Amino acid sequence: MQIGKDYIGVGCGAFIINDQNELLLQQRNKSPEKEYWSIPGGKVEMFETFDQAVKREVKEETGVDIEVIELLGICDHIVPNEKVHWVSPAYLCKITKGEPTIMEPKKHTDMKWFSLEQLPQNLTITTKNALECYKKYKK
C-alpha cells in the first residue's frame, strides 16, 4: 500500500518569509504536481509531531534550521488526476541558521526566493492554500 494513494497521507509545509518579504519555493521534480513550485515540506513520520516534522523536512530539503512561528492553515491536498490525497498543515517559519541549498536534487530542480507580488504561476495546491492563509494572517 502506498501513502497518499491507497490511504490519506499526512504532510506538513513551511511558509518561509525572509527580511525582504520573499517566499522560499522549490520546483518539484516528482509527482504529485511535478514541475510546480512548492513550499518546503513533506510527510509526517510515525510518532513525530508536526513541529518536529516540518523542522526535519526543511533541514533535509534545504539544509537550514527554522523556527516555527505559527500554524497558518490546513490544506486538503487532493489531486484527482494523479489519484493523490494528503492533508497538510502549513506553518509560518523563519530561518534561524544557514543558507537554503538544494539538498535533494532528485526531488527538486530549483529553489528561489520570490517576491510575494511576483510568484510563479505554477504553484502547488498546498502553496496556494498557504498563501491564502498568510494573506488572512497579515490582515
| pLDDT tens profile 34-86 | 999 999 999 999 999 999 999 999 999 999 999 999 999 999 999 999 999 99
Look at residue 3 and tell me if it is in a domain.
Answer: no
Look at residue 65 and tell me if it is in a domain.
Answer: yes
Look at residue 51 and tell me if it is in a domain.
Answer: yes
Look at residue 2 and tell me if it is in a domain.
Answer: no
Q: Which domain holds residue 18?
A: 9-138
User: Is residue 32 scored above 90 in pLDDT?
Assistant: yes
3-state secondary structure of 119: coil
User: Is residue 138 scored above 90 in pLDDT?
Assistant: no
The pLDDT score that the predictor gives to residue 139 is: 79
User: Is residue 28 scored above 90 in pLDDT?
Assistant: yes
Does this model's pTM top 0.85? yes
Look at residue 1 and tell me if it is in a domain.
Answer: no
Q: What share of the chain is helix, strand, coil (3-state, %, to 5)?
A: 20, 45, 35
Inter-residue long-range contacts of 129-136, CB under 8 Å, 24+ positions, other chains counted: 129/73, 129/75, 129/77, 129/90, 130/13, 130/15, 130/39, 130/72, 130/73, 130/75, 130/90, 131/15, 131/23, 132/73, 133/15, 133/72, 133/73, 133/90, 134/15, 134/72, 134/92
Q: Which of 85, 95, 105, 93 is nearest to 130 (CA)?
A: 93
The pLDDT score that the predictor gives to residue 5 is: 87
Q: How many domains does the chain have?
A: 1
Q: Which carries the bigger pLDDT value, residue 110 or residue 1?
A: 110
pLDDT in tens, 93-127: 999 999 999 999 999 999 999 999 999 999 999 99
CATH number for the domain spanning 103: value is: 3.90.79.10
